[in-house]
Amino acid sequence: MNGRLLITCPDRHGIVAAVAGFLAGSGANIITSDQHSTDPEGGEFFMRMEFTLEQGDLSALGRAFGQEVGDRLDMRWRLTDGGRPKRMAILVSKEDHCLVDLLWRHRRGELDADIALVASNHPDHRADVEGFGIPYHHVPYPNEPELLELLNDVDLVVLARYMRILSGGFLTTLDTPVINIHHSFLPAFAGANPYQRAFERGVKIIGATAHYVTEELDAGPIIEQDVARVSHREHAETMVRLGRDIERTVLARAVKWHLEDRVLVHGNRTVVF
Protein backbone atom coordinates (compact mmCIF):
# COMPACT_ATOMS: atom_id res chain seq x y z
CA MET A 1 0.00 0.00 0.00
CA ASN A 2 1.02 3.59 -0.57
CA GLY A 3 0.99 6.15 2.25
CA ARG A 4 1.48 9.90 2.36
CA LEU A 5 2.59 11.62 5.54
CA LEU A 6 2.23 15.40 5.85
CA ILE A 7 3.78 17.22 8.78
CA THR A 8 3.87 20.75 10.18
CA CYS A 9 5.82 21.48 13.36
CA PRO A 10 8.33 23.85 14.97
CA ASP A 11 11.72 23.38 13.32
CA ARG A 12 14.45 21.68 15.31
CA HIS A 13 17.32 19.30 14.75
CA GLY A 14 16.54 15.67 14.00
CA ILE A 15 13.03 15.85 12.53
CA VAL A 16 13.87 14.17 9.22
CA ALA A 17 15.92 11.50 10.98
CA ALA A 18 13.11 10.78 13.45
CA VAL A 19 10.46 10.42 10.74
CA ALA A 20 12.64 8.40 8.38
CA GLY A 21 13.85 6.19 11.21
CA PHE A 22 10.31 5.47 12.35
CA LEU A 23 9.14 4.57 8.84
CA ALA A 24 12.19 2.37 8.21
CA GLY A 25 11.68 0.62 11.53
CA SER A 26 8.03 0.03 10.62
CA GLY A 27 8.94 -1.71 7.36
CA ALA A 28 8.10 1.23 5.10
CA ASN A 29 10.13 2.18 2.03
CA ILE A 30 10.31 5.96 1.42
CA ILE A 31 9.65 6.90 -2.22
CA THR A 32 9.79 10.70 -2.06
CA SER A 33 10.57 13.24 0.64
CA ASP A 34 10.12 17.01 0.48
CA GLN A 35 10.67 19.51 3.26
CA HIS A 36 10.74 23.25 3.82
CA SER A 37 11.61 25.46 6.76
CA THR A 38 10.73 29.10 7.21
CA ASP A 39 13.82 29.41 9.43
CA PRO A 40 16.10 26.57 10.64
CA GLU A 41 16.42 28.35 13.97
CA GLY A 42 12.94 28.54 15.45
CA GLY A 43 10.91 28.60 12.25
CA GLU A 44 8.12 26.36 11.04
CA PHE A 45 8.96 23.05 9.38
CA PHE A 46 6.90 21.36 6.66
CA MET A 47 7.32 17.87 5.25
CA ARG A 48 5.67 15.51 2.79
CA MET A 49 6.82 11.90 2.63
CA GLU A 50 5.41 9.25 0.35
CA PHE A 51 6.18 5.62 1.09
CA THR A 52 5.14 2.04 0.45
CA LEU A 53 4.22 -0.41 3.20
CA GLU A 54 4.39 -4.12 2.41
CA GLN A 55 2.78 -5.37 5.62
CA GLY A 56 0.53 -3.92 8.33
CA ASP A 57 -2.04 -1.18 7.89
CA LEU A 58 -1.92 2.59 7.78
CA SER A 59 -4.26 3.10 10.73
CA ALA A 60 -1.96 1.19 13.08
CA LEU A 61 1.06 2.92 11.61
CA GLY A 62 -0.56 6.30 12.24
CA ARG A 63 -1.36 5.52 15.86
CA ALA A 64 2.21 4.41 16.49
CA PHE A 65 3.64 7.45 14.71
CA GLY A 66 1.59 9.82 16.84
CA GLN A 67 2.73 8.18 20.06
CA GLU A 68 6.40 7.72 19.17
CA VAL A 69 7.16 10.77 17.03
CA GLY A 70 4.27 13.18 16.53
CA ASP A 71 3.55 13.97 20.19
CA ARG A 72 7.23 14.16 21.11
CA LEU A 73 8.03 16.70 18.38
CA ASP A 74 4.83 18.73 18.72
CA MET A 75 3.67 17.86 15.20
CA ARG A 76 0.44 18.52 13.39
CA TRP A 77 0.31 15.66 10.95
CA ARG A 78 -1.96 13.55 8.79
CA LEU A 79 -1.51 10.22 7.11
CA THR A 80 -3.44 9.41 3.95
CA ASP A 81 -3.86 6.34 1.80
CA GLY A 82 -2.34 7.19 -1.58
CA GLY A 83 -4.08 4.22 -3.14
CA ARG A 84 -7.59 5.46 -2.31
CA PRO A 85 -8.88 8.11 -4.74
CA LYS A 86 -10.63 11.00 -3.00
CA ARG A 87 -14.35 11.53 -3.63
CA MET A 88 -14.80 14.89 -5.32
CA ALA A 89 -17.87 16.98 -6.07
CA ILE A 90 -18.02 19.90 -8.52
CA LEU A 91 -20.30 22.92 -8.20
CA VAL A 92 -20.87 25.10 -11.26
CA SER A 93 -23.08 27.93 -12.51
CA LYS A 94 -23.58 28.89 -16.18
CA GLU A 95 -19.94 29.08 -17.31
CA ASP A 96 -18.86 25.54 -18.24
CA HIS A 97 -15.21 25.83 -19.35
CA CYS A 98 -13.67 24.82 -16.01
CA LEU A 99 -16.26 22.08 -15.48
CA VAL A 100 -15.72 20.44 -18.87
CA ASP A 101 -11.94 20.71 -18.50
CA LEU A 102 -12.02 18.87 -15.16
CA LEU A 103 -14.33 16.17 -16.54
CA TRP A 104 -12.06 15.68 -19.55
CA ARG A 105 -8.90 15.50 -17.42
CA HIS A 106 -10.60 13.01 -15.12
CA ARG A 107 -11.56 10.80 -18.05
CA ARG A 108 -7.97 10.97 -19.32
CA GLY A 109 -6.69 9.77 -15.94
CA GLU A 110 -5.01 13.05 -14.99
CA LEU A 111 -6.99 13.52 -11.76
CA ASP A 112 -6.81 10.75 -9.18
CA ALA A 113 -10.35 11.12 -7.89
CA ASP A 114 -13.82 9.66 -8.00
CA ILE A 115 -16.15 12.43 -9.16
CA ALA A 116 -19.25 11.67 -7.11
CA LEU A 117 -21.49 14.36 -8.63
CA VAL A 118 -21.84 17.71 -10.29
CA ALA A 119 -24.36 20.17 -8.84
CA SER A 120 -25.46 23.47 -10.36
CA ASN A 121 -27.86 26.31 -9.71
CA HIS A 122 -28.77 26.02 -13.42
CA PRO A 123 -30.07 22.99 -15.37
CA ASP A 124 -27.96 23.72 -18.45
CA HIS A 125 -25.12 21.20 -18.16
CA ARG A 126 -27.02 17.96 -17.48
CA ALA A 127 -26.45 16.37 -20.90
CA ASP A 128 -22.72 17.17 -20.94
CA VAL A 129 -22.12 15.88 -17.42
CA GLU A 130 -24.21 12.74 -17.75
CA GLY A 131 -22.37 12.07 -21.01
CA PHE A 132 -19.30 11.50 -18.83
CA GLY A 133 -21.28 9.05 -16.71
CA ILE A 134 -21.49 11.37 -13.70
CA PRO A 135 -24.69 12.26 -11.78
CA TYR A 136 -25.99 15.82 -12.27
CA HIS A 137 -28.10 17.68 -9.72
CA HIS A 138 -29.93 20.94 -10.29
CA VAL A 139 -30.05 22.76 -6.94
CA PRO A 140 -31.48 26.30 -7.26
CA TYR A 141 -29.59 28.82 -5.14
CA PRO A 142 -29.66 29.36 -2.15
CA ASN A 143 -30.81 25.85 -1.14
CA GLU A 144 -27.82 25.09 1.11
CA PRO A 145 -29.54 22.22 3.06
CA GLU A 146 -30.00 20.24 -0.18
CA LEU A 147 -26.41 20.91 -1.19
CA LEU A 148 -25.15 19.77 2.20
CA GLU A 149 -27.09 16.52 1.88
CA LEU A 150 -25.53 15.88 -1.53
CA LEU A 151 -22.03 16.65 -0.26
CA ASN A 152 -22.14 14.73 3.02
CA ASP A 153 -19.65 12.01 2.00
CA VAL A 154 -17.16 13.76 -0.29
CA ASP A 155 -13.51 14.58 0.47
CA LEU A 156 -13.23 17.69 -1.71
CA VAL A 157 -15.60 20.25 -3.24
CA VAL A 158 -14.48 22.20 -6.31
CA LEU A 159 -16.17 25.46 -7.31
CA ALA A 160 -15.67 25.41 -11.09
CA ARG A 161 -17.01 28.95 -11.60
CA TYR A 162 -19.83 28.47 -9.08
CA MET A 163 -20.76 32.14 -8.94
CA ARG A 164 -22.55 32.07 -5.62
CA ILE A 165 -21.37 32.81 -2.09
CA LEU A 166 -21.37 29.90 0.37
CA SER A 167 -22.25 30.99 3.89
CA GLY A 168 -19.99 30.54 6.87
CA GLY A 169 -22.54 28.20 8.40
CA PHE A 170 -22.51 26.08 5.26
CA LEU A 171 -18.71 25.84 5.25
CA THR A 172 -18.62 24.96 8.95
CA THR A 173 -21.24 22.24 8.60
CA LEU A 174 -19.64 20.86 5.44
CA ASP A 175 -16.23 20.63 7.17
CA THR A 176 -14.58 19.60 3.89
CA PRO A 177 -11.92 21.45 1.85
CA VAL A 178 -13.41 23.65 -0.88
CA ILE A 179 -11.30 24.94 -3.79
CA ASN A 180 -12.46 27.94 -5.82
CA ILE A 181 -11.20 29.43 -9.07
CA HIS A 182 -11.35 33.23 -9.12
CA HIS A 183 -10.93 35.00 -12.43
CA SER A 184 -8.35 37.54 -11.33
CA PHE A 185 -4.85 37.61 -9.90
CA LEU A 186 -5.81 37.96 -6.24
CA PRO A 187 -5.69 40.05 -4.15
CA ALA A 188 -6.45 42.37 -7.08
CA PHE A 189 -10.09 42.60 -8.19
CA ALA A 190 -11.73 40.32 -5.66
CA GLY A 191 -15.49 39.90 -5.96
CA ALA A 192 -17.68 40.34 -9.03
CA ASN A 193 -16.80 41.47 -12.59
CA PRO A 194 -13.00 41.38 -12.25
CA TYR A 195 -12.30 41.46 -16.01
CA GLN A 196 -14.42 44.56 -16.48
CA ARG A 197 -12.70 46.27 -13.57
CA ALA A 198 -9.28 45.18 -14.88
CA PHE A 199 -10.12 46.68 -18.27
CA GLU A 200 -11.26 49.93 -16.68
CA ARG A 201 -8.03 50.07 -14.68
CA GLY A 202 -5.91 49.53 -17.79
CA VAL A 203 -3.95 46.55 -16.44
CA LYS A 204 -1.22 44.94 -18.55
CA ILE A 205 -1.54 41.51 -16.89
CA ILE A 206 -4.65 39.46 -16.16
CA GLY A 207 -4.69 36.24 -14.20
CA ALA A 208 -6.58 33.61 -12.27
CA THR A 209 -6.27 32.30 -8.74
CA ALA A 210 -7.18 28.95 -7.22
CA HIS A 211 -7.64 29.14 -3.47
CA TYR A 212 -9.28 27.41 -0.55
CA VAL A 213 -12.64 28.90 0.36
CA THR A 214 -13.14 30.66 3.67
CA GLU A 215 -15.99 32.78 4.97
CA GLU A 216 -14.21 35.95 3.80
CA LEU A 217 -14.87 36.40 0.07
CA ASP A 218 -11.92 35.45 -2.18
CA ALA A 219 -9.49 35.67 0.74
CA GLY A 220 -8.64 32.03 1.48
CA PRO A 221 -5.15 30.49 1.22
CA ILE A 222 -3.87 30.64 -2.36
CA ILE A 223 -2.84 27.35 -3.99
CA GLU A 224 -1.94 28.39 -7.55
CA GLN A 225 -1.95 31.43 -9.85
CA ASP A 226 -1.01 32.26 -13.42
CA VAL A 227 -1.15 35.28 -15.73
CA ALA A 228 -1.26 36.43 -19.35
CA ARG A 229 -0.12 39.76 -20.77
CA VAL A 230 -2.67 42.10 -22.34
CA SER A 231 -2.37 45.44 -24.07
CA HIS A 232 -4.37 48.57 -24.72
CA ARG A 233 -5.88 46.79 -27.75
CA GLU A 234 -7.84 44.35 -25.54
CA HIS A 235 -11.47 44.89 -24.61
CA ALA A 236 -13.14 43.40 -21.55
CA GLU A 237 -14.68 40.69 -23.75
CA THR A 238 -11.30 39.60 -25.13
CA MET A 239 -9.89 39.56 -21.61
CA VAL A 240 -12.67 37.16 -20.65
CA ARG A 241 -11.74 34.84 -23.53
CA LEU A 242 -8.04 34.95 -22.67
CA GLY A 243 -8.82 34.44 -19.01
CA ARG A 244 -10.79 31.24 -19.57
CA ASP A 245 -7.65 29.36 -20.61
CA ILE A 246 -5.80 30.57 -17.51
CA GLU A 247 -8.71 29.63 -15.26
CA ARG A 248 -8.84 26.09 -16.62
CA THR A 249 -5.16 25.36 -16.15
CA VAL A 250 -4.84 27.04 -12.75
CA LEU A 251 -7.84 25.19 -11.32
CA ALA A 252 -6.69 21.85 -12.73
CA ARG A 253 -3.24 22.24 -11.16
CA ALA A 254 -4.65 23.16 -7.76
CA VAL A 255 -7.13 20.28 -7.76
CA LYS A 256 -4.45 17.79 -8.85
CA TRP A 257 -2.05 18.93 -6.14
CA HIS A 258 -4.73 18.70 -3.47
CA LEU A 259 -5.73 15.21 -4.60
CA GLU A 260 -2.09 14.15 -4.36
CA ASP A 261 -1.78 15.61 -0.82
CA ARG A 262 0.83 18.16 -1.89
CA VAL A 263 -0.71 21.20 -0.19
CA LEU A 264 -0.17 22.15 3.44
CA VAL A 265 -2.07 25.15 4.81
CA HIS A 266 -0.25 27.43 7.24
CA GLY A 267 -2.38 30.32 8.43
CA ASN A 268 -3.52 32.13 5.30
CA ARG A 269 -0.69 30.73 3.17
CA THR A 270 0.10 27.38 1.62
CA VAL A 271 3.17 25.27 1.09
CA VAL A 272 2.87 23.23 -2.12
CA PHE A 273 5.29 20.35 -2.66
Q: How many helices (H) and strands (E) in the chain?
A: 8, 13
Query: By the 8 A CB rule, do 244 and 161 touch?
Result: no
The count of residues in the chain is: 273
List all residues 6 or more positions away from 39 whose beta carbon is below 8 Å from its beta carbon: 11
When computed from its CA atoms, the radius of gyration of the chain, rounded to whole angstroms, is 20
Please report, to the nearest 10 degrees, the dihedral formed by the alpha carbons of residues 18, 24, 26, 30 taken in order. Answer: 100
Q: Identify the helix (H) or strand (E) that includes residue 17.
A: helix 15-25
The Cβ of residue 51 has, within 10 Å, a number of other Cβ atoms equal to 22
Point out the catalytic residue in the list 96, 101, 155, 218.
218
Report helix, strand or coil for 208: strand
Cα 189 → chain centroid: 21
Question: What are the start-end ranges of the E strands in 54-155?
Answer: 76-81, 86-92, 113-120, 136-138
DSSP letter for 69, please. I
Query: By the 8 A CB rule, do 155 and 117 touch?
Result: no
List all residues 6 or more positions away from 266 whose beta carbon is below 8 Å from its beta carbon: 8, 44, 46
Active-site residue flag, 218: yes
Would you please indicate which residues are annotated as catalytic (active-site) residues? 218
